[in-house]
């Protein structure tokens, strides 16, 4: 685990929340959802001293806690982390916690999507049910913790659609809207997404969590 980073003259203020990711898409989504809550949001790019955090958990919750706890202890700031992925019914819940590396350690969005399409080749539309799952963990250096989960039900398309979003968004159809996640504007996606739902659930408990986070250990 990384050593605590010594404070610098331009060190972040204590009202700063560190998002435990370098994924620009996730940072943008979560920053938009936290914008009105009175905290400054930064990502791991602000802390190059922190290397890659190995996701060794067997569940989304375990991985979210692991990442948030590591970053909180390394930075001395409240850390917020999510672990999320796509669970496909016809694949017994895969790729699940391995969504980001479904096609191996050097996977890209394109290779992951291609593998998913190949795995579902010939599977009829009625059996292509899936859901995005996100678990968001907020952990303070003093050990205060809050956890929330969100889900977004959908269906896997047979070809990519849309040019927005990231990850599996081009293959995820929202049946109620009849559009892929990659076809939604950012605000519209945040209103429906698994990550948006998880974070809104987390924010319901935020005042109580923040009070505990500021207490002395």
Average per-residue pLDDT in the chain? Answer: 89
* pLDDT (average), residues 14-33: 78
Which residue do the tokens 């429906």 mark?
192
Tell me the two tokens of residue 206: 């935020």
More confident of the two residues 134 and 40: 134
Tell me the two tokens of residue 151: 């889900």
- What three-state secondary structure class fits 166? coil
- In Å, what is the CA distance from 91 to each residue of 120, 127, 129, 132, 203? 8, 10, 10, 14, 33
Q: Where in the sequence numbering do the catalytic residues fall? A: 83
pLDDT, tens only, 46-105: 898 898 888 888 999 999 999 999 999 999 999 999 999 999 999 999 999 999 999 998
Q: What is the pTM of this model?
A: 0.84
Domain ranges of the chain: 16-214
* pLDDT (average), residues 117-142: 97
Ramachandran bin of 13, using left for φ above 0, alpha for ψ from -120 to 50, beta for the remaining angles: beta
- What three-state secondary structure class fits 138? strand
Q: What is the pLDDT of residue 56?
A: 87
Q: Percent of the chain, pLDDT > 70? A: 93
Which range, of 26-35, 36-45, 64-73, 114-123, averages the lowest pLDDT? 26-35
Class of domain 16-214: alpha beta
DSSP state of 41: E
Q: What is the pLDDT of residue 120?
A: 98
DSSP state of 63: H
Q: What is the pLDDT of residue 22?
A: 83
């Amino acid at each position: 685990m990384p050593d605590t980073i010594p404070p610098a003259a331009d060190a972040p203020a204590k009202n700063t929340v560190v998002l435990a990711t370098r994924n620009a898409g996730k940072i943008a989504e979560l920053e938009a959802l936290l914008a009105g809550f009175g905290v400054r949001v930064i990502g791991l790019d602000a802390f190059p001293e922190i290397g890659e955090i190995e996701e060794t958990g067997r569940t989304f919750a375990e991985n979210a806690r692991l990442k948030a706890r590591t970053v909180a202890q390394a930075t001395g700031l409240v850390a917020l982390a999510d672990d999320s992925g796509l669970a496909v019914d016809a694949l017994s819940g895969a790729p699940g916690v391995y969504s980001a590396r479904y096609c191996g350690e050097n996977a890209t969005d394109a290779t992951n999507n291609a593998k998913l399409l190949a795995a579902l080749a010939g599977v009829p539309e009625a059996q292509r049910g899936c859901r995005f799952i996100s678990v968001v963990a907020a952990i303070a250096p003093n050990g205060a913790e809050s956890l929330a989960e969100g889900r977004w039900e959908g269906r896997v398309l047979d070809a990519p659609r849309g040019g927005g979003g990231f990850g599996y968004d081009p293959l995820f159809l929202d049946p109620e809207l009849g559009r892929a996640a990659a076809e939604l504007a950012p605000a519209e996606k945040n209103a429906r997404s698994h990550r948006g739902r998880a974070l809104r659930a987390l924010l319901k408990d935020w005042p109580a969590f923040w009070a505990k986070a500021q207490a002395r250990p």
